[in-house]
Amino acid sequence: MFYNVNNRRNSLLKHKMTGYVGKISSATLLSRILGYIRDMLIANMFGATLVADAFYVAYRIPNLLRRLLGENALSSSFIPVFTQYLTNKSKKESQQLVSIVVTVLLIILSVLTVAGMIFAPVLVRLIAPGFAKDPQKLALTIQLTRIMFPFMIAIGLAALSMGILNSLHKFIIPALAPCFLSISGIFFILTICPLMETPIKGLAIGVLIGGFGQLIFQIPSVIKSNFWVKLKLDLSHPGLRRIGFLMVPAIIGLSVNQINIFVDTICASLLKEGSITALYYANRLVQFPLALFGTAIATVTLPILSRSIAENNLKEMKTTLS
Q: Is residue 220 part of a domain?
A: yes
Determine the residue type at 41. L
In the predicted model, is pLDDT for residue 242 greater than 60?
yes
Name the more confident of 257 and 39: 39
Q: Is residue 270 part of a domain?
A: yes
Q: Is residue 8 part of a domain?
A: no
Nearest Cα residue to 47 out of 201, 277, 300, 287? 277
Q: How many domains does the chain have?
A: 1
Per-residue confidence band for 126, with pLDDT thresholds at 50, 70 and 90: confident
Q: Is residue 313 part of a domain?
A: yes
Query: How far apart (Å, rounded) are the C-alpha atoms in residues 283 and 265?
Result: 12
Q: Is residue 198 part of a domain?
A: yes
pLDDT in tens, 260-279: 777 887 787 787 877 888 88
Nearest Cα residue to 295 out of 11, 77, 20, 84? 20
Q: Is residue 11 part of a domain?
A: no
In the predicted model, is pLDDT for residue 2 greater than 50?
no
At residue 147, the pLDDT reads: 93
Mean pLDDT of 293-310: 77
In the predicted model, is pLDDT for residue 184 greater than 90?
yes
At residue 128, the pLDDT reads: 84
**Which residues form the domain of 252?**
19-321
Query: How far apart (Å, rounded) are the C-alpha atoms in residues 171 and 244?
Result: 24
Q: Is residue 12 part of a domain?
A: no
Nearest Cα residue to 177 out of 190, 153, 189, 161? 161
3-state secondary structure 173-192: HHHHCCHHHHHHHHHHHHHH
Name the more confident of 201 and 283: 201
At residue 3, the pLDDT reads: 47
Question: In terms of pTM, does the model score above 0.75?
Answer: yes
Q: Is residue 113 part of a domain?
A: yes
Question: Could you tell me the CA-to-CA distances from 303 to 58, 129, 173, 260, 275 in Å, in that order?
Answer: 33, 41, 16, 29, 39
At a CB cut-off of 8 Å and minimum separation 6, what does 268 contact? 130, 275, 276, 279
CA 262 to chain centre: 18
